[in-house]
Amino acid sequence: MVVSGISGNAPSALKVDVDIKHTWRGDVVIDLIAPDGSAYRLKNSSSNDSADNVIATYTVNASTEVANGTWKLKVQDVARYDTGYIDSFKLTFP
């Protein structure tokens, strides 16, 4: 996601909305990758969480990052057999 037209740094309460379809969400690890390559962990794996899908809003203190640039969502499935995909993600700069 390319962010432009925002002066200065990202906020200390950057909202990250994710909609990830997955058959066992406990297998999913999610990181927000800032334009400079810094990673912000949004979600760790949890072997006890067998529900489907990750539909959530996370708050990240990204105040040390320049707001403008390419932000990425990195999603990893740390187990085998289950499948999924990123349906959408959105950043909200308050």
Q: Is 3 exposed, middle or buried (0-12, 13-18, 19+ CB in 10 A)?
A: middle
- pTM passes above 0.85: yes
Q: Look at residues 73, 89, 68, 88 and name the one whose alpha carbon lies nearest to residue 40.
A: 73
94 has a pLDDT exceeding 90: no
Q: What is the CATH number of the domain that holds 77?
A: 2.60.120.260
Does residue 86 lie in a domain region?
A: no
Does residue 89 lie in a domain region?
A: no
Does residue 31 lie in a domain region?
A: yes
> Rounded mean pLDDT of the chain?
95
pLDDT of residue 25: 92
Domain span at residue 59 reads 2-81
Does residue 68 lie in a domain region?
A: yes
Our count of domains for the chain comes to 1
Q: What is the rounded distance in angstroms from the CA atom of residue 66 to the CA atom of residue 75?
A: 22
pLDDT tens string 35-68: 999 999 999 999 889 999 999 999 999 999 999 9
C-alpha 76: how far from chain center: 11
pLDDT of residue 91: 97
pLDDT of residue 82: 86
